[in-house]
């Protein structure tokens, strides 16, 4: 009781004082600065990627195994712009994540700020693993199934714009879902979730997984299963990681 009284007499923490000192306009100015840095990094990466956009298209075309067609005069130009932007987004991911963290960091306690570097590294790594999983496994299997679905009645002639949009959406979606363990571990470190909470709400999580897979993937059951399966596995891995974190705390 005495220690509690002493803590109450200390008044507001440095964290609370910093939050009170910064007015709303200060937050807006900080947000504008962070957004400018993000836009600048995207612009620089875009300039670096654009000269190699043709190589990117060749790389993305490999899982398809056939030539693409163009159905409008501006399609190729717009595709190269889209590829360059997507490549720039991946290259600038660490900078974007750092700027987002730097924006929310003033509202965190010192003990919470030390998670910044591991969070940025793991988030970038998991996004890359998710995109790699989609490119090496999900795309070849999914494309093979979808292109043969029409049988001999339909000859697949895919436009380059539709194909790039499809592949980009798949890579982005799988990259994002592979961030799930990082998010769960971060929330567990901050004491916001527990392993018992994850286990208790497993059935709702599975339902949410299939809903997310239906939203993020093309409108076919096969693509949804290709995403829902890994996401379900990532959820179970996250439960094990959080359980390990709780066990480490008890031992300490």
Q: Which of 7-16, 79-88, 211-220 has the lowest mean pLDDT?
A: 7-16
- The mean predicted confidence, pLDDT, of the chain is 79
Top mean-pLDDT range of 55-64, 176-185, 191-200: 55-64
SS3 for the chain, per residue? CHHHHHHHHCCCCHHHHHHHHCCHHHHHHHHHHHHHHHHHHHHHHHHHHHHHHHHHHHHHHCCCCCCCECCCCCHHHHHHHHHHHHHHHHHCHHHHHHHHHHHHHHHCCHHHHCCHHHHHHHHHHHHHHHHHHHHHHHHHHHHHHHHHCCHHHCCCCCEHHHHHHHHHHHHHHHHHHCCHHHHHHHHHHCCCCCHHHHHHCHHHHHHHHHHHHHHHCCCCHHHHHHHHHHHHHHHHHHHHHHHHHHHHHHHC
Q: Which of 26-35, 40-49, 104-113, 201-210 has the lowest mean pLDDT?
A: 104-113
For the cut 80, the answer to whether the pLDDT of residue 152 exceeds it is no
For the cut 50, the answer to whether the pLDDT of residue 20 exceeds it is no
- To the question of pTM greater than 0.75 for the whole model, the response is no
How far apart are the C-alpha atoms of 200 and 205, rounded to whole Å?
10
Instruction: Tell me what the mean pLDDT of segment 187-215 comes to.
Output: 81
Confidence band, pLDDT 50/70/90 cuts, at residue 9:
very low
CB 121 within 8 A of CB 80: no
For the cut 50, the answer to whether the pLDDT of residue 68 exceeds it is yes
| Percentage of the chain exceeding pLDDT 70 | 80
Instruction: Tell me what the mean pLDDT of segment 88-114 comes to.
Output: 77
Q: What is the pLDDT of residues 134-149, one digit of tens each?
A: 888 888 888 887 787 7
Q: Which of 211, 233, 235, 237 is nearest to 224 (CA)?
A: 211
For the cut 90, the answer to whether the pLDDT of residue 44 exceeds it is yes
């Amino acid at each position: 009781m005495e220690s509690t009284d002493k803590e109450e007499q200390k008044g507001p923490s440095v964290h609370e004082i910093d939050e009170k000192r910064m007015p709303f306009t200060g937050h807006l100015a900080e947000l504008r600065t962070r957004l400018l840095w993000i836009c600048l990094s995207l612009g620089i990466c875009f300039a670096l990627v654009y000269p190699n956009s043709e190589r990117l298209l060749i790389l993305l075309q490999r899982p398809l195994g056939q030539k693409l067609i163009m159905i409008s005069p501006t399609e190729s130009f717009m595709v190269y712009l889209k590829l360059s932007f997507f490549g720039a987004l991946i290259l600038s991911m660490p900078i974007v994540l750092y700027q987002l963290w730097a924006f929310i960091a003033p509202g965190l306690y010192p003990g919470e700020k030390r998670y910044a570097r591991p969070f940025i590294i793991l988030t970038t790594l998991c996004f890359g693993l998710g995109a790699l999983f989609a490119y090496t496994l999900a795309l070849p299997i999914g494309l093979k199934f979808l292109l043969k679905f029409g049988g001999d009645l339909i000859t697949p002639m895919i436009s380059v714009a539709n194909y790039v949009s499809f592949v980009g959406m798949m890579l982005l979606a799988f990259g994002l879902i592979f961030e799930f363990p990082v998010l769960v571990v971060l929330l567990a470190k901050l004491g916001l979730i527990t392993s018992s909470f994850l286990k208790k709400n497993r059935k709702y999580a599975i339902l949410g997984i299939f809903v997310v897979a239906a939203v993020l993937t093309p409108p076919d059951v096969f693509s949804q299963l290709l995403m829902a399966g890994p996401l379900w596995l990532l959820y179970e891995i996250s439960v094990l990681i959080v359980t390990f974190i709780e066990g480490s705390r008890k031992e300490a």
